[in-house]
Structure 1
Amino acid sequence: MGRIGKLDVFIVVAATICIVFGIVTWAAFSSIYSTLVKQNLQLSINTDTSLGYSAFQYTNPQVTNIMKFYFFNVTNPDEVKYYSAKPNVVEIGPFAVVESEQKKYIDFNGDKSQMFYQNYKKYILSKDYSCDDCGWDRNLIFPNPPGLGAVGSMIDPQFKITRTGRTIIATALMILGEYPFVSHKVREVLFDGYEDALLSAAHSGIVTILSGVFKGEGQSIVPIPIPQMPKFGYFQGYNNSRDEEYWIETGKTDINQIGKVQKWAGITELPGSWWTTDYARSIRGSDTGSFTQMHLDESSTADMFFSFMCRSFTKTFYRKETIQSIPTMGYHIGYDEWDTTSDKNVGFRYRNVEKRNYFPDWPQCPPKGQCHQSGSIDCSKSVNFCHACCQGSFYNGTYLLPPGMFPLVCYPGRLQPTPFAVVYSPPHFLFSPDEVRSTVVGMAPDPEKHEPMIYYHETYSGTTLKVTNRLQVNMPVIKSHDVPSSQNMPNVMIPLFWQEATPIYHQFIFNQVWLGFVLVPRLMQVLQFVALGFGLLLVAVLVFIQLRKGGNSNSGRPGVRRTSFLERTSNWLSSTSSNSYNTNQSGGLRRM
C-alpha cells in the first residue's frame, strides 16, 4: 500500500484553502462590499463634528462648473416693431462663466437622518471657455423684459387694471422710453445689470413716499409687479448669493433615498399659485439630480428637484457610455417631461392670461365635421384638440402652448413669484413642433447639441460622473392696442438666450470611482475564479501523483493488484485511526 507523504498533505491543505476561499468570497463578498459602499456613500458627521467623506465632498464639490451662454441677437427689431415681421435672430456665443458653489451652515437632525444646508454660488467671467470674438462689452439687441413685462401685466386679470389704469401705465411707459427692444452690453445683460427707466422710477424715493401716503408702508402705488432689483440683468444680484435652505435625506434610513429633498425654503410642497396640481407642486428627488439610487439599469428612473426652474423632474434612461474606463448609465429629462399637453403635466401649463395665440399654425388639424358630442369631449386633452367639438389649442378662454415649453413661475432658486412672463424650453425649441420653430427665423435644433439635461451615473453606486444641463429662456411678446409702441408687434415667443452648464470633475474622483467600483469588483471576481481553479488543479495534481505512485510501486510485480488512490487514502486514514486508538489504549494502561 502506497503512503501519503508530506507533499500530499500540503497539496490537500492548499487545495482545501483555495476552494474554501473561493466559495466563501463568492458567497460573502457581495454582501460585505455592499455594506461598505453604503457606509461610504452616506452623508454623515464624525464624533469630532467633522464631516464624513461623502458629506464633505457634497458640501465642497470638487468640480469646475462651466456655464456657457448663447445669446440670440435680434437683427430686424424695426421690422418686428412696425410691420409684425418674424423675429430674425442670430446666435452669438458662447460667453463662458466659471461657477463655484459651497454649501454652508451644515447641520443634522437628532438621529442624523437629515442634513441642513444653504447653497452659496459665485460666478467669474472666463475668456478661456468663451469664443474668440465673444467680448463682454459686445452689444446685443433683445426684447425689453421690464417694458414688455409691464405690457403683459396690464391685461392680467389678477391685477384688475381698468381701461383708465391701462392708459395711465401706457402713457408712463411712453414717457419713460420703454420700447419693445433694447440694446445693452453682454456683461450688463448677464450679471452687472443696466439702468432701466421703469425700474428706476418704480424704486425712486418719490414713488416710495407716495406709496406710503396712499397705500401704507410696504405697499406700492404701482398696480403691476415690479422686479425687486435696482438694475435689470438676467442674473443681476445672483453673484455671491445663495439658493433657499434645504433639508435632505442623508441615506441613513435608506441609502436609495440619499439626497432626497425633504424641505426647501421651509416648505414641503410648492405654492399653489405656481402650479395647479399636486403632482406639479411636489418636491421630489435630490437637489438638481446630485444623487440617485444604487444598482442602476435601463429601467431605473430618478426624480430631481431643480429650484432654478421652480419644479421637479423625472430622469429616464438615455444611453450607456464609458467614461474614463468606467461604465455608466445616462439618464435624461426627456420629451415627456416637457410636454404640458399631456395629462400628467397639466399642472405645468402656461396660464396665458393675455389670451394670445403665439402659434396659430399649431395644431395642424384636418377639416372638421359637425360636433355631435358637445359637452362629453374633454378638449383639454391633446388627443382631442382636432376633434370636431374642440377648437385646437383654444381651451377655457385662452390658448395652450405646444409641447416643449413651460413657464418660469418664480425667481430662479427663490421662493418669490416672477414679475413678468418667461417661458423655458430646450435650446432651439428642440422638443417643440415645427410650427413653433417657424415663428422665429434662426432656429436649428440638433439633439446632440441641444438635448436639455443628461446625467451619467456609475451603475453600482449611482455616483454622478458627467452632467450636461441646457436650458433656453424665451419671452412672450404681444400686440397691445393700449401701448403705442406695441400696437404693431406680433404675438410671438422670442428666445432670449440658452445656457449650457457642464461640471468638469477633478481627476481624483474618476480614479477613486474606478478603483472602488471597477477594479476591486473585477479583482475579487478574478481571485474567486483563480482560487477555485487553482484548488481544483491541486486536487487533479494530487490524484495524478497518487496514480503515478501506485503505478510505480506495483510495476514489475506480477500478481500484485494496484490499489487505487481512494483505497490508499482510506487505508492511510484507517491506519492513522488505529494507531491513535492503540496509543490511547497504551496510555490508558499506563495511567492505570
Structure 2
Amino acid sequence: MGCCTTNCQKWTTFSLAGVFLLLGILIAVLWDGIFHKIVDHELSLANNKTKGYINWKETPIPMYLQFYLFNWTNPEDIRNITIKPNFKEHGPYTYYEHHIRENITFNDNGTISFQTKRLWKFLPEKSVGSLSDNITTLNPIVVTVGNMVKYKHYLVKRGVNFFLKEKKVTLAITKTVDEFIFKGYDDPLLDLVHKLNISGVNVPYTKFGWFVERNGSAEYDGMYNMYNGENDIEKLGLLNTWNYNNTVSFLKGNCSKVEGTTGELWYPPRDRSTIKLFSSDLCSSVELMKVDKYTTYGIEGDKYWGSEKVFDNGTTYPEMKCFIPEGVQLPSGVRNVSSCKFGAPAFISYAHFYMADPVYREAIDGMKPNKEKHDMYFALEPSTGLPLRVQAAFQINLKMDPVEGIDMLTNIPSKMMPSFWFQQTADLSKDLADQTKLLLVAPSAGTYTGYGFIGIGVLLLIIGGFVTYRRGWKQSEEERLLNQQSL
C-alpha cells in the first residue's frame, strides 16, 4: 500500500533521510573499530575455530627447503700451507616442507603451548643431482671429539688417538647426500662420545646426520609457548618460553632472551622498524630491519632484511658482543652454536660467508657470495602480519683446530670449514592472496558505504525540503474531496 496523503509522503521522505543519515553515521564512525575487532579475533589463536588457528595448525603456504653441500676436493693437502682447502658447491637438493602443530595446549594466561612436526619430501624435479651423490667433507665427529678433549689430560687425548687409529677414522669423510642430511650413518666415534661422558655433553643420537631423526619428529624443535593474540593482537606469535625457559643457559644478557616469533605466525608489524625471529637451529634470536617494500599479487608489504649485524661480533654493534663466548674472539660473520649442537665446534653464518669478514673467504677457495641468492628477508603485510615472501638462508661451518696428542689433528691449520648451507623459501599462494585482498579493502568499503548512506540521506533531505518549500507535494483525489467537503 503506497502513501496517499501529502503528510505521509513528507514523513516517509524525511524518515528515510533520517534513517540513511543515522545508519551512515553509525557505519562511518563504528565500522572500522568493529571490523578490526572481528579481524583481530579471527587472526588470533583464541580458540581452535578461528581462521588464524586453522591456518597456523597446518601451514597452508607451500614451503621448500634447499640444501647445498660443499664437496672438499683436496683433503690430502691439508698440511700444505701453500694450498688452500678447496670446496665445490653441489645442489640444490630440494625438499617440500610441511608443518603440523601437535601437543597443543591453550593456557589461561593468553598463551598457547605446542610442538611442531616438520615433514620433508624430496623433489627430484626441483633438484640438481641425486641423493646418492657422494660428498667429501671435514669429518664432523672427529672435530667434535677433538673439541671435547682439547683441554683434557694428555693421556685422555692419546687414548682417543689410539681409538681413531684402531677404527681407521680419517679427517675427511665421504658419504652420500642422503646420509649427510636425513638418513644418517653409523659412526664408531659416536660410541666414543657416549663413553667419554663429558659433563654438559649429551648426544641423544646413535647415527650422525645433520637432520637425522628430524623428519616427522614433533620433539626435535622443542616445546614452544607463545602469546595467542586473544588479549593483545600486537603480541600474536611472540614467544614466551622455549623448552620451558625464557632464556638460553649458554648465552648472557640480552642475547640469552627467548624473543621474537618462530617465523610463521606474526603480529601485525604495522610501522615497526625491526622484527625478531627465534630459531631453534641457532638456539637464539635474529633481528631483521625494515628496508624496502615488497609487492605480490597486488598486495604491498614491508621487507625486513637480515643485515651484517646478525652475525656481528660486537665490533660494529656492541650489543652483539654477548653472543661471543668468554675468551673467544673471532672476526665478524659467524655465530658460535657449539653449546646448541652437543659440543660440536659449529658456527652459523650466511651462505658463502656473505657479509662476513673477508678473512673467512680468503682462507679457503670456492666461496662466491651473492646478494640476490644469499640474502635473508621476510616480507610481511603490515596490517595482518601475513608473510608474503620468506627467504632464509644459513650456512653450517665446522671450526678445524689443531689438537696436540691426536695425530690427525696435529699440525693442521686453524680454519672455518663450510659443510653446507640451506635455504627455506615460502611464497603467498593465490588463494590466500585473494582472501587477503578482500580483507584489506573491507575497512574502506565499509566506511565508503557509510558515506554513501549519509549522501543518500542528505539528498533526501534536500529533495524533501525543496518540495516542501515549493509546495510540490501532490494531493490524492480522495484527499482533495475531503478538503472540499470540509469547506
Inter-partner Cα distance in structure 2 for 1:439 and 1:19: 75
Inter-CA distance 172–181: structure 2 relative to 1 (3 Å threshold): same
Inter-partner Cα distance in structure 2 for 1:90 and 1:290: 33
Inter-partner Cα distance in structure 2 for 1:490 and 1:142: 16
Q: State percent identity of aligned pairs.
A: 22
Other-structure match for 1:137: 132
- Among 285, 304, 308, which residue is 2:281 paired with? 308
Shift of 1:504: 4.5
Other-structure match for 1:588: none
Note if 1:248 corresponds to 2:226: yes
Given that 1:18 and 1:535 are in contact with CA atoms closer than 8 Å, whether structure 2 keeps it comes out as yes
Other-structure match for 2:481: none
Inter-partner Cα distance in structure 1 for 2:187 and 2:9: 94
Listed one character per residue, the Cα deviations across residues 196-217 of structure 1 (whole Å, up to 9, x for unaligned) are 23225556xxx6xxxxxxxxxx
Note if 1:181 corresponds to 2:178: no
Inter-CA distance 116–51: structure 2 relative to 1 (3 Å threshold): farther
C-alpha RMSD over aligned residues: 3.1
Amino acid at match of 2:294: E
Given that 1:424 and 1:474 are in contact with CA atoms closer than 8 Å, whether structure 2 keeps it comes out as yes
Other-structure match for 1:126: 123
Given that 1:81 and 1:486 are in contact with CA atoms closer than 8 Å, whether structure 2 keeps it comes out as no
Structure 2 unaligned residues grouped into runs of 5+: 1-5, 474-487
Moved more, 244-253 or 30-39: 244-253
Other-structure match for 1:513: 436
Shift of 1:84: 6.0
Inter-CA distance 26–348: structure 2 relative to 1 (3 Å threshold): same
Note if 1:100 corresponds to 2:98: yes
Write the mapping of 1:356-371 to structure 2, written as runs, cut at 5 A. none
Using the size of structure 2 for normalisation, the TM-score is 0.86
Write the mapping of 1:173-572 to structure 2, written as runs, cut at 5 A. 173-200=164-191, 220=196, 227-242=203-218, 243-271=221-249, 274-275=250-251, 277-286=252-261, 288-294=262-268, 296-297=270-271, 299-341=272-314, 342-350=317-325, 400-411=329-340, 418-452=342-376, 454-517=377-440, 519-531=441-453, 568=469
Given that 1:292 and 1:302 are in contact with CA atoms closer than 8 Å, whether structure 2 keeps it comes out as no
Amino acid at match of 1:424: I
Other-structure match for 2:480: none
Inter-CA distance 348–224: structure 2 relative to 1 (3 Å threshold): closer
Inter-partner Cα distance in structure 2 for 1:229 and 1:117: 23
Amino acid at match of 1:290: E
Note if 1:28 corresponds to 2:30: yes
Given that 1:153 and 1:224 are in contact with CA atoms closer than 8 Å, whether structure 2 keeps it comes out as no
Inter-partner Cα distance in structure 2 for 1:12 and 1:84: 96
Inter-partner Cα distance in structure 2 for 1:226 and 1:523: 58
Shift of 1:195: 2.5
Inter-CA distance 15–222: structure 2 relative to 1 (3 Å threshold): closer
Amino acid at match of 1:180: L
Inter-partner Cα distance in structure 2 for 1:176 and 1:224: 26
Amino acid at match of 1:332: W
SS in 1 for 2:222: strand
Inter-CA distance 262–225: structure 2 relative to 1 (3 Å threshold): closer
Shift of 1:66: 0.9
Shift of 1:311: 0.5
Q: Which has the larger radius of gyration?
A: 1
Inter-CA distance 335–528: structure 2 relative to 1 (3 Å threshold): farther
Inter-partner Cα distance in structure 2 for 1:7 and 1:90: 87
Inter-partner Cα distance in structure 1 for 2:368 and 2:15: 71
Inter-partner Cα distance in structure 2 for 1:74 and 1:249: 45
Amino acid at match of 1:91: E
Amino acid at match of 2:104: I
Inter-CA distance 14–440: structure 2 relative to 1 (3 Å threshold): farther
Inter-partner Cα distance in structure 1 for 2:55 and 2:209: 32
Inter-CA distance 225–176: structure 2 relative to 1 (3 Å threshold): farther
Listed one character per residue, the Cα deviations across residues 236-264 of structure 1 (whole Å, up to 9, x for unaligned) are 12122122122221212212112222222
Inter-partner Cα distance in structure 1 for 2:446 and 2:230: 27
Shift of 1:222: 7.2
Write the mapping of 1:84-95 to structure 2, written as runs, cut at 5 A. 85-95=83-93
Listed one character per residue, the Cα deviations across residues 6-35 of structure 1 (whole Å, up to 9, x for unaligned) are 988777666655554444333222211111
Shift of 1:424: 0.2
Given that 2:311 and 2:334 are in contact with CA atoms closer than 8 Å, whether structure 1 keeps it comes out as yes
Listed one character per residue, the Cα deviations across residues 71-130 of structure 1 (whole Å, up to 9, x for unaligned) are 11112222224446212111111001122221112222246x221212222222221321
Other-structure match for 1:155: 150
Shift of 1:295: 5.6
Shift of 1:456: 1.8
Inter-CA distance 460–523: structure 2 relative to 1 (3 Å threshold): same
Inter-partner Cα distance in structure 2 for 1:222 and 1:261: 32
Inter-partner Cα distance in structure 1 for 2:432 and 2:207: 40
SS in 1 for 2:254: helix
Given that 2:387 and 2:428 are in contact with CA atoms closer than 8 Å, whether structure 1 keeps it comes out as no
Amino acid at match of 1:262: N
Inter-CA distance 86–525: structure 2 relative to 1 (3 Å threshold): farther
Amino acid at match of 1:420: A
Inter-CA distance 539–295: structure 2 relative to 1 (3 Å threshold): farther
Number of residues paired by the alignment? 466
Shift of 1:479: 3.0
SS in 1 for 2:122: strand
Inter-CA distance 223–34: structure 2 relative to 1 (3 Å threshold): closer
Inter-partner Cα distance in structure 2 for 1:305 and 1:125: 26
Shift of 1:472: 0.6
Shift of 1:326: 1.5
Inter-partner Cα distance in structure 1 for 2:198 and 2:278: 34
SS in 2 for 1:106: strand
Inter-partner Cα distance in structure 1 for 2:114 and 2:448: 43
SS in 2 for 1:236: coil
SS in 1 for 2:147: helix
Shift of 1:476: 0.6
Amino acid at match of 2:75: P
Inter-CA distance 237–293: structure 2 relative to 1 (3 Å threshold): closer
Inter-partner Cα distance in structure 2 for 1:52 and 1:535: 37
Amino acid at match of 1:26: A
Inter-partner Cα distance in structure 1 for 2:291 and 2:395: 21
Inter-partner Cα distance in structure 2 for 1:460 and 1:96: 32
SS in 1 for 2:126: coil
Listed one character per residue, the Cα deviations across residues 41-87 of structure 1 (whole Å, up to 9, x for unaligned) are 22123xxxx54332232122113321000111112222224446212
Inter-CA distance 254–78: structure 2 relative to 1 (3 Å threshold): same
Structure 1 unaligned residues grouped into runs of 5+: 208-219, 352-395, 412-416, 547-564, 574-592
Given that 1:96 and 1:126 are in contact with CA atoms closer than 8 Å, whether structure 2 keeps it comes out as yes
Write the mapping of 1:26-105 to structure 2, written as runs, cut at 5 A. 26-45=28-47, 51-83=49-81, 85-105=83-103
Amino acid at match of 1:467: V
Given that 1:150 and 1:224 are in contact with CA atoms closer than 8 Å, whether structure 2 keeps it comes out as no
Write the mapping of 1:110-125 to structure 2, written as runs, cut at 5 A. 110=108, 113-125=110-122
Inter-partner Cα distance in structure 2 for 1:221 and 1:105: 32
Moved more, 530-539 or 288-297: 530-539
Given that 1:84 and 1:490 are in contact with CA atoms closer than 8 Å, whether structure 2 keeps it comes out as no
Other-structure match for 1:559: none
